[in-house]
């Protein structure tokens, strides 16, 4: 504040000029908006959840997720493959087949260590502790902090389900929370709110003083801890885990990549060949592994149950092995995008009859998909939290407030899709389940749940194929989860700064009955 004195003849007066100063402690509106964005909420959630599960290993994963992810180049066999391979080789890229074969020879002499059961049990305990902590926070947040310790008995709503309750899809969880709520809101009447009728207030005006008796929206409320209650390892069904012996790299599938910690990280944009199609398809290496885990054979009939946008189905066609590929997805817009990708990479796709006989498209809910002939291989790349997208993009983010129920119901949806896939595959055929998530709930938890449901509901028995030895040759290209973060049923591609692929989870199941 400044004082200005003015003298006018014999009269003097002072005027004050006030300058508004910005408070340094005030938070800028852009930062406030950032903290409420969907990707900010997703990162807070992952920090809490994955930090509890992975411990110190979560920090480097988080750093990698926030950076630009790395891709491999799948050479298009329907373009000019020789010229494309020469172009990629001149840029310092290596053939994934050759890198894998060199590493596999090494691991024949020094096999990778097997997962210890104690480490798996340790992971289960961490998840159980996190779930119980989350349940406590959910209940306490519903009520005043002063009242919660005195009136809430958290043991009544601990959600420690038995095997029989798990079979009922945990539908009684909300009733447990409601009963706890009813016990808590039984308070004495606040006498200060009583209005004397002599005050002359009309009866209509009194309606605004009626206290609330229930929380709006509680009918649709889903507890966060319900999401983690789907993780169960009860062995009340035939569970077989065998090493995979049929795995081999397809001869005609040419995938090029840069080695771990290489100076080269990204490939240039694909270009059109003289045939009009693009020369290679860039994609995450974890997605390629899902196709490799199918162990495709000549003449296979393949179903891609959640196919769009179509990258994995395109890689399957690049192996030149399956006779028929059925691409199914419920989203019309995503299917249209898949059509465009196939036109861009498969020569004469719109006009040739051979493609109409070989590639079929359907728009059916994957849980309701039926087929009379059966499939040799089924790929189930389920909807998931897509961890990398969730922490980097707000658009179509699963952590948006209007998608909370959808996110919390993901494990149930994923298990239903995988269970139906096991009914669609022939005896002796294989189902590959994959996600883009680090969550043990959506990965091992869903596989276990689907195996159990398939046995109890359809008398189907499937063996889990351990891909540890098969994928060991990829150690110079990407990092797989090992030690206490290694899944029991599948393989986990862990994002790192040097090899920023994934996250991806791949599990191979072979139907034996």
Distances (CA, A) of 511 to 176, 267, 467: 38, 39, 16
When pLDDT is cut at 50, 70 and 90, the band that residue 223 belongs to is: confident
| Residues in contact with 110: Cβ distance below 8 Å, sequence separation at least 6, in sequence order | none
Q: Using only the alpha carbons of the chain, give its radius of gyration.
A: 29
Beta strands in 46-164 (DSSP E): 72-75, 94-95
In a domain, 165, yes or no: no
Q: Which residues pair with 26 in a beta bridge?
A: none
When pLDDT is cut at 50, 70 and 90, the band that residue 229 belongs to is: confident
Encoded tokens for 86: 């020469």
365 assigned to a ligand binding site: yes
| Residue 446 contacts residue 433 (beta carbons within 8 Å) | yes
In a domain, 17, yes or no: no
In a domain, 173, yes or no: no
Query: How much of the chain, in percent, has pLDDT values that exceed 90?
Result: 57
The whole-number average pLDDT for the span 469-477 is: 89
304 assigned to a ligand binding site: no
- Residue 497, Ramachandran bin (φ over 0: left; ψ between -120 and 50: alpha; else beta): alpha
What does pTM read for this prediction?
0.80
Q: What is the extent of the structural domain holding 429?
A: 55-118+235-511
The whole-number average pLDDT for the span 401-407 is: 91
pLDDT of residue 131: 80
| Residue 405 contacts residue 220 (beta carbons within 8 Å) | yes
Residue 511: pLDDT over 90: yes
More confident residue, 228 or 147: 228
Q: Which residues pair with 425 in a beta bridge?
A: 375
Q: What positions carry a catalytic annotation?
A: 436
| Residues in contact with 465: Cβ distance below 8 Å, sequence separation at least 6, in sequence order | 241, 242, 243, 244, 430, 508, 509, 510
When pLDDT is cut at 50, 70 and 90, the band that residue 189 belongs to is: low
329 assigned to a ligand binding site: yes
The whole-number average pLDDT for the span 380-404 is: 95
In a domain, 251, yes or no: yes
Residue 158: pLDDT over 90: no
- CATH code of the domain containing 266: 3.40.50.150
How many structural domains compose the chain? 1
295 assigned to a ligand binding site: no
Encoded tokens for 303: 């179903």
Residue 2: pLDDT over 90: no
pLDDT of residue 115: 45
pLDDT of residue 155: 41
In a domain, 213, yes or no: no
Residue 324: pLDDT over 90: yes
CA distance linking residue 254 with residue 330, whole number of Å? 30
Q: Which residues pair with 94 in a beta bridge?
A: 257
Which of 187-196, 310-319, 409-418 comes out lowest in average pLDDT?
Answer: 187-196
Distances (CA, A) of 110 to 97, 113, 246, 473, 474: 20, 9, 20, 12, 15
The whole-number average pLDDT for the span 458-475 is: 93
In a domain, 132, yes or no: no
The DSSP annotation for 197-246 comes to: GGG---TTGGGGGPPP-S-TTGGG---HHHHHTT------S--EEEE--S
In a domain, 465, yes or no: yes
């Amino acid at each position: 504040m400044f004082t200005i004195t003015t003298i006018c003849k014999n009269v003097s007066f002072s005027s004050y000029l006030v300058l508004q100063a910005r408070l340094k402690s005030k938070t800028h509106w852009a930062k406030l908006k950032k903290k409420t964005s969907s990707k900010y909420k997703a990162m807070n959630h992952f920090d809490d959840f994955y930090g509890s599960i992975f411990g110190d290993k979560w920090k480097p994963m988080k750093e990698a997720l926030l950076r630009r992810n790395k891709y491999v180049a799948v050479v298009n066999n329907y373009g000019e493959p020789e010229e494309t391979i020469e172009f990629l080789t001149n840029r310092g890229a290596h053939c994934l087949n050759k890198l894998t074969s060199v590493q596999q020879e090494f691991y024949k002499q020094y096999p990778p260590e097997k997962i210890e059961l104690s480490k798996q049990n340790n992971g289960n305990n961490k998840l159980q502790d996190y779930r119980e902590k989350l349940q406590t926070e959910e209940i306490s947040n519903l009520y005043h902090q002063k009242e919660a310790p005195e009136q809430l008995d958290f043991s009544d709503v601990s959600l420690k389900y038995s095997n029989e309750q798990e079979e009922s899809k945990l539908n009684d969880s909300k009733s447990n929370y409601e009963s706890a709520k009813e016990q808590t809101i039984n308070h004495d009447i606040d006498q200060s709110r009583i209005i004397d009728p002599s005050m002359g207030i009309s009866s209509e005006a009194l309606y605004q003083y009626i206290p609330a008796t229930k929380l709006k929206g509680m009918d649709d409320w889903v507890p966060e801890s319900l999401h983690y209650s789907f993780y169960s390892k009860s062995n009340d069904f035939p569970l077989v885990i065998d090493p995979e012996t049929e795995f081999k790299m397809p001869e005609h599938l040419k995938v090029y990549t840069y080695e771990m910690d290489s100076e080269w990280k990204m490939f240039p944009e694909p270009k059109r060949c003289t045939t009009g199609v693009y020369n290679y398809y860039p994609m995450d290496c974890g997605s390629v592994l899902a196709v490799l885990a199918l162990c495709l054979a000549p003449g296979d009939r393949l179903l891609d149950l959640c196919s769009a946008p179509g990258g994995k189905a395109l890689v399957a066609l690049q192996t030149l092995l399956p006779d028929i590929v059925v691409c199914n997805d419920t989203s019309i817009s995503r299917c249209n995008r898949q059509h465009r990708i196939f036109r861009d990479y498969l020569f004469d796709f719109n006009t040739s009859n051979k493609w109409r006989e070989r590639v079929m498209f359907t728009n059916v809910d994957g849980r309701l998909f039926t087929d009379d002939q059966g499939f040799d291989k089924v790929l189930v790349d389920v909807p998931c939290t897509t961890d990398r997208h969730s922490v980097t993009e707000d658009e179509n983010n699963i952590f948006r407030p209007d998608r909370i129920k959808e996110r919390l119901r993901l494990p149930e949806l994923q298990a239903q899709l995988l269970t139906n896939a096991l009914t669609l595959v022939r005896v002796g055929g294989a189902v590959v389940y994959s996600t883009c998530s680090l969550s043990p709930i959506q990965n091992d938890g869903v596989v276990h749940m689907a195996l159990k449901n398939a046995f109890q509901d359809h008398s189907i028995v499937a063996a889990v194929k351990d891909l540890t030895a098969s994928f060991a040759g990829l150690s110079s290209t990407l990092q797989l989860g090992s030690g206490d973060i290694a899944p029991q049923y599948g393989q986990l591609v862990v994002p790192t700064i040097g090899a920023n692929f994934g996250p991806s989870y791949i599990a191979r199941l072979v139907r034996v009955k």
